[in-house]
Structure 1
């Protein structure tokens, strides 16, 4: 069932999907994580933003070449490299988002504990709150993409307010002495930049979000391209200006031990009570990111199932055009992963899965970059011109993705590869069913 025009999202909802999925609760902790490197860490943001620009531009161009490519990286990879590569991308992306959503839910519950202390002491209360958030947003998702899009737009605006207040307002409270020393590490400047860029690059994951539900986007050829680039611009401004302000307000020796750097900066600017509205911003950021990823998670298995590479049950849609079966199954997986974190014996396993999810999220970027060059030449032959810039963009996006994967760590790559290969029997079965059925 195709989505009707009233059940499609436009530019601002698509942009909020990109911004909302990129800016989660983790950004509120990033200045503290990078404080030990010195102000050189700000260049890490710049390098990550440049690399992410290549990815954003590539996904923008792909959305124009394949405007109806529901599933985003999966659709692009399948079109360029074939069914098997597309299946691997989709499988990895599906598992990665399930685990990431569990982590986002935990961040949401943690942020709420500022207002409801029982969530920090009662496992039962924390689990019930997390489950309530997951299934509330699953219900919202089943009401159609327009409803989820409106929710995403609202939560994105609310989460950006405290971030921009500190990012821009904080510039007037900066003490330039706090930016010294420039490089606090025992490595070279380039080594410090590489290390911080490896940390900050994960904040740009989600840049492809607008491409996932392309079949439910109004005028996808234009809307997705604009939303992706606009989303990158907004997120980059928040990241860079926010880090400059927080690092300029709080002395580095204090900042690196802070567990709430944005809240500490707000307290310095506006007084102790400001901590509460920053904590509210963290909760909204997590809630909004969860809403966006729940929406995405229903679209990916739907796209694979339509191509008969996943069980047909995932193609079922309700009267609102929402792939409700995939969303429900995905939310069950998220609920199980979240529960693992509150079971002491399984906490380490959960952290391991979270580490794996980072690698699995990067594979689609690598495959999409390789596919881009193929699709560009196929859709616009070399004789039409512009092929050199397309090849350069594809190579830059490919190299950057490869660098990101290297930054994910050896164990993540090793076990992630094993997990990808474990999906081969499912692909073989699906390919057989597709052939005989």
Structure 2
């Protein structure tokens, strides 16, 4: 399966993928409404139907003993690695914290902004083959740093009639600082977090990736709660010059292609010799990749090597693609950062493999996909904060500006707004 070498005009640059169909939308909406009206009863019935696990309400919440027992089921190397990663992730996000501010003006007016954490957030963690402890850290730690008091994690129970949850997921959650864990997944978990049930209290915001039904459920409950985003397939763009290492570039392209068949892996280079070297490396590395079939299908459907006229054109194309991950495998990569306008995360130089960001460096790996890096940002501390404006207007300021305020209100036809000012001016002026 050759990675195609194309000219930019031969490749579909505007990539938008809508996976859902009407049947899936109806199914997800029905699940959400059922949980909203029936609470625990619907959650338990849907868990039995979709996960093959029969639970009672008192078994929805994972116990402290189960979490403690998970530590005995994971290996020491994992525990050491997850703790080291957590340190890095926490340190990076600590630098994102913001402070409230108040500005006292000479005329006695005080304006300001209050920064407060959300009270309660829900984190969805996929189960089965998509059980990723690293995503647990990336979603929970920023909430902890933001000061969120209650962090609720939901994750599907194991299939096959058992109630167990992957111990690596539970250990990661405990290390990150989770407050509660519930064994429920799918659209029913999203609905339970949004509306609350007899067992699962409602939250203010839901974050975390999931399958198409989870994504649709998040879309349906948005407005009742906030959500992070609707995640799309994973993406990587590599910009490389002729001096880059072809084996590195190929490996990084495949690191995203192995996620799923809809993932996108694109190399932008002005060098045909390098393009051909990467093409050969992708073929060679695919042969021994455990997820070869998935990666090969991703490469076939959404992968390409684009031969550009220059690195400048490569940067321009990358900005149009607005990729989730962007690697700069070029001489002086830092010097090219100023040319990049749209990217979820930018990796500089040959040793900054995308995997470094996924697991360990510290920046969040929950990134905008599907071209939304044009207007979305990575998940971070801001995701879990809310702002309130503070206004304390003085008598002096009202006397000075009251007539202007009334002029604007009356121009909009809102006499009640104007009179709220007029009554104060009349009282203060003795009229």
The TM-score bracket by the shorter chain reads under 0.3
Larger helix percent: 1
Q: Which structure has the larger Rg over C-alpha atoms?
A: 2
TM-score (norm 2): 0.22
Bigger RCO of structures 1 and 2 (CA < 8 A, at least 6 apart): 1
